Amino acid sequence: MKQGLNGKATLKLILCGNVECTEAGKIGVVSVVYATNDKNLAEQKIHELIAANPDNYYMVYSVPLDVDLTELTHHPSIEITKEDLQ
């Protein structure tokens, strides 16, 4: 979390990963749940989200603007494995 909050890029994205149970079975969902240019707001929000939803997985990223994120060494993502869905 500290790496994402302290990154050089000003945009802070908070992603949420979770597994949802549906009638068709389990599905993995990754979503962007918060975006800000304020590091302090990002830190406050991620702690609030973790406290309110402890079963979800949260990650914060510092994201550069006007860049193809898929060309970065690591871009905002959360892995959901097959085992998570069993």
Radius of gyration in angstroms for the set of CA atoms belonging to the chain, rounded to a whole number: 14
Hey, is 5 helix, strand or coil? helix
Query: Among candidates 19, 15, 1, which has minimal Cα distance to 81?
Result: 19
Range of the domain at 67: 2-85
- pLDDT, tens only, 48-79: 999 999 999 999 999 999 999 888 888 888 88
pTM value? 0.84
36-to-3, 17, 28, 57, 64 alpha-carbon distances in Å: 16, 19, 25, 19, 12
Task: At 35, list the tokens.
Answer: 């975006």
Over 90: is that where the pLDDT of 15 sits? yes
Quickly state the pLDDT bin for 33 (edges 50, 70, 90).
very high
Domain count, the chain: 1
Helix (H) or strand (E) holding 15: strand 11-22
